[in-house]
A = this chain, B = another copy of it.
Amino acid sequence: MNQDYIKPDNWSVIEEGFNAERVKSSESLFSIGNGAMGQRANFEEQYSGPTFQGSYIAGVYYPDKTRVGWWKNGYPEYFAKVLNAPNWIGINVSVNGEQLDLHTCKVVDNFRRELNMKAGWLSRSFTATLQNNVVIEVEAKRFLSLELDEVGAIEYSVKPISTDAEVVFQPYLDSGITNEDTNWDDEFWDTLKVCNENNQAFIEAKTMKTEFHTCTFMESEVFVNGTAVAIKPVIESDSNSISFSYSNQVKQGETYAINKFGGYVVDTNHDKNELISAAKNVLNLATEKGFDVLLDEQKQAWERIWSMSDISISGDVKAQQGIRFNIFQLNQTYLGEDSRLNIGPKGFTGEKYGGSTYWDTEAYCIPFYMATKDQNVARSLLEYRYNHLEKAIENAGKLGFTNGAALYPMVTMNGEECHNEWEITFEEIHRNGAIAFAIFNYHRYTGDYSYIPEKGLEVLIGIARFWQQRATFSSAKNKYVILGVTGPNEYENNVNNNFYTNYLAQWCINYALENISKIESEYPSDFARVMNKVKLEEAELNKWKAVAENMYFPFSEEKQIYLQQDGFLDKELITVDHLEKAQRPINQKWSWDRILRSPYIKQADTLQGFYFFEDQFSNEELERHFDFYEPFTVHESSLSPCVHSIQAAKLDRMEQAYTFYLRTSRLDLDDYNNEVHEGLHITSMAGTWMSIVEGFGGMRVKDDMLSFTPKIPKEWDEYSFKVNFRHHILKVNVNQSGAKFELEGDSDLQILVNNSPVTISRNSLLTV
């Protein structure tokens, strides 16, 4: 926890003062991205202190050979890792022959870093006294262009204030790059070509094994007091780097500046034999516009994003900063323009989780993207899984399932499973249900049914087949049971009849059956095409029905609650508030067996089911289950507080909801878990958005209508958000005395407010 480090501000993340111990954390917090690439906030100039270098290209990964202690049949061969890519931001700066390095400077004053979320840029300024006693003022600004998403731009200036000085800018490219996280110290990159042409430099490199061909490029221009100057650079290169040195004698008080443009082109978007020419094209586009024009376009692009996705909060700047930081980072990570991409738990801010796709996307991220983007973005996320269906069927095959049963991987880059803990890889199968639930959720929200006959049905059938085969009949219970699973609460492994999993399995089968019927009657040609492919017979459908109709759910008659799994009540039921502080977080303090036999819950598990299938439980049931399970929940997953915040709000426990909200929204800014140096918790940020929209705003879709039960924490004056619902843009504004609904668009919209239908006229405002 690091509560007051980041300065509160409505639109920016601000750090003041230089502290070497904070460098790695701030590198995470100030990360920038544009959906196609992203990077940690590493310094442009040399830095010899502790740093975690990272620049990542979306979709470019390395299959790092699996490392285990003891091999189990079925483990995947590799763990896909988004790679630390060649460095293009680097600018060595020397002043009278001494390298500028904040770790070795005598004094660093006025250090200030700002991540301007409104306009999408990162800036840094400081005054440094070098070892050689020259004092300089430095300013740097950098952004990754949303407009030209293969390009980033840097403006970097040095002003000697103590004396005249010889200043050399040495912008460079470097492909001699490694990951911090490698299993076997493999080389990840193979540099193919280092070259330059006029002011432009290029490094062609390919990833080992996966053979993604990339070209990293740069072009720079230098200025004195804002006027371009023609300095002939000294060009040096070796097998994996190239630099241009621009040396200048700078007078005291003069500003010597460099604009550097750089980035990547990749063979996933270009012919691999034409990468240098593609790089030239994009560099020329960027340099023709120049830094200021690109920056202006960046502001406009972010303005468009914010105009739809912003949530404003009045009266609570920390809450405001938190939610904007979350929304900003989500948009930096994924913009929904490429159905080959997805949302890694750490986005482009670190190496952990390998940048791969988890069930987080379906369970947490889709609602945010559905409501704040065009519905095609959510559809694109669904298609990502449709495109992986064959791999999911192969994956299930490796575990012994047959006949087209599909098990989506726990962790994946290209549809293949990457994870290698048996209790997760083979057993945390509820993820399969989240894939189906996302299809339902998409249809429920957008009203667009067309995805299901076109693509979704095949996915639903593969998933239903899996559940039918995975459930087994217990003669003792005269019910179908699902043995040996890990639920969302990963602090239980290999349990039997996890309520959430069983419920989801039953729902998946029923939902598949329902869609099969509907498509058979309403989309006969799609039906024929799919049936021809999947060969689904009546006998098999009867097996599905038998499982769904006779699914077992563990239930305590005494407590009138569904049990998280068989035997949960045999645990020592000591609530979290009785745990000593010194024992927390238990995942750092306790051995795994102790965690497993404890009642402690990492994140919503039974309650995740109550969240997904809220309509199927009464408020009294929710309250009973919330009161039973939340006191055992340690919230040691970033995905935990948001669901609890939503449910607390639903139960009118606004204090608790607000506490959970702060925890989710400022998890990284305040570094709750002392781990922000590893990267940000990107996917849980979508949960933060849900905490406000679904939690405080009470937004749901009911009977094809948007429904709201607006509430507001007592700490806030007002908050507002916008949602895109079926081509209507609805702005919701809630304050302590009521709510206002404002509609953009060309038709009226009927919504439910506190369960009463009201109609909002187009372009009008409704106050409740």
Interface residues of A (CB under 8 A from B): 66-70, 72-74, 398-400, 420-423, 426-427, 472-477, 481, 483-484, 493-496, 566-567, 569-573, 587-594, 596-597
Contacts A/B (CB < 8 Å), 14 sampled? A68-B69, A69-B69, A74-B591, A74-B593, A399-B591, A400-B591, A426-B592, A472-B571, A474-B569, A483-B570, A483-B596, A493-B493, A496-B567, A567-B567
Contact call A483/B571, Cβ cutoff below 8 A: yes
CA distance A400 to B579 in the complex (A): 14
CA distance A72 to B589 in the complex (A): 10
A496/B570 contact (C-beta < 8 A), A70-B421, A73-B588, A591-B74 known = yes
Main secondary structure of the interface of A (DSSP, over half): loop
Of B400, B481, B567, B591, the contact of A398 (CB 8 Å cutoff): B591
CA distance A426 to B596 in the complex (A): 11
Contact call B72/A591, Cβ cutoff below 8 A: yes
Q: How many protomers of this protein does the assembly include?
A: 2
Q: Max chain B CB contacts within 10 Å: which of A483, A495, A569, A593?
A: A593
CA distance A530 to B302 in the complex (A): 75
CA distance A477 to B475 in the complex (A): 23
CA distance A727 to B571 in the complex (A): 50
Kindly list chain B residues whose C-beta atoms are within 8 Å of the C-beta of A66: 69
Contact call A69/B72, Cβ cutoff below 8 A: no
CA distance A631 to B68 in the complex (A): 33
CA distance A588 to B73 in the complex (A): 7
Of B67, B400, B494, the contact of A596 (CB 8 Å cutoff): B494
CA distance A68 to B593 in the complex (A): 17
Nearest-CB residue, chain B, relative to A552: B570
Kindly list chain B residues whose C-beta atoms are within 8 Å of the C-beta of A593: 74, 399, 422, 426-427, 484
Contact call B592/A72, Cβ cutoff below 8 A: yes
Nearest-CB residue, chain B, relative to A559: B476
Kindly list chain B residues whose C-beta atoms are within 8 Å of the C-beta of A594: 399-400
Kindly list chain B residues whose C-beta atoms are within 8 Å of the C-beta of A597: 472, 483-484
Q: Which 10 A-B pairs have the closest CB atoms?
A: A74-B591, A426-B593, A484-B597, A476-B569, A474-B570, A483-B597, A72-B592, A68-B69, A422-B592, A399-B591
Contact call A475/B569, Cβ cutoff below 8 A: yes
Q: Max chain B CB contacts within 10 Å: which of A66, A476, A496?
A: A476
Of B73, B476, B596, the contact of A570 (CB 8 Å cutoff): B476
Contact call A472/B400, Cβ cutoff below 8 A: no
CA distance A630 to B594 in the complex (A): 32
CA distance A590 to B571 in the complex (A): 31
Distance (whole angstroms) from the CB of A318 to the closest CB of chain B: 33
A473/B572 contact (C-beta < 8 A), A67-B67, A484-B597, A597-B483 known = yes
* Apart from the given pairs A69-B420, A474-B570, A494-B495, 7 other A-B contacts in the complex at a CB distance below 8 Å: A72-B591, A73-B587, A73-B590, A398-B591, A426-B593, A473-B572, A475-B573
Distance (whole angstroms) from the CB of A311 to the closest CB of chain B: 36
CA distance A438 to B566 in the complex (A): 35
Contact call A566/B566, Cβ cutoff below 8 A: yes
Nearest-CB residue, chain B, relative to A567: B496
Contact call B426/A591, Cβ cutoff below 8 A: yes
Nearest-CB residue, chain B, relative to A572: B472
CA distance A680 to B267 in the complex (A): 53
CA distance A421 to B572 in the complex (A): 25
CA distance A73 to B586 in the complex (A): 10
Contact call B74/A592, Cβ cutoff below 8 A: yes
Q: Max chain B CB contacts within 10 Å: which of A70, A481, A495, A588?
A: A70
Q: Max chain B CB contacts within 10 Å: which of A68, A571, A587, A589?
A: A571
Nearest-CB residue, chain B, relative to A421: B70
Nearest-CB residue, chain B, relative to A79: B69
A591/B494 contact (C-beta < 8 A), A68-B68, A472-B571, A573-B475 known = no
CA distance A543 to B573 in the complex (A): 19
Nearest-CB residue, chain B, relative to A495: B494
Contact call B569/A567, Cβ cutoff below 8 A: no
Distance (whole angstroms) from the CB of A482 to the closest CB of chain B: 9
Distance (whole angstroms) from the CB of A592 to the closest CB of chain B: 4
Kindly list chain B residues whose C-beta atoms are within 8 Å of the C-beta of A484: 593, 596-597
Kindly list chain B residues whose C-beta atoms are within 8 Å of the C-beta of A68: 67-69
Kindly list chain B residues whose C-beta atoms are within 8 Å of the C-beta of A496: 567, 570
Contact call B570/A481, Cβ cutoff below 8 A: yes
Distance (whole angstroms) from the CB of A365 to the closest CB of chain B: 24
Distance (whole angstroms) from the CB of A602 to the closest CB of chain B: 14
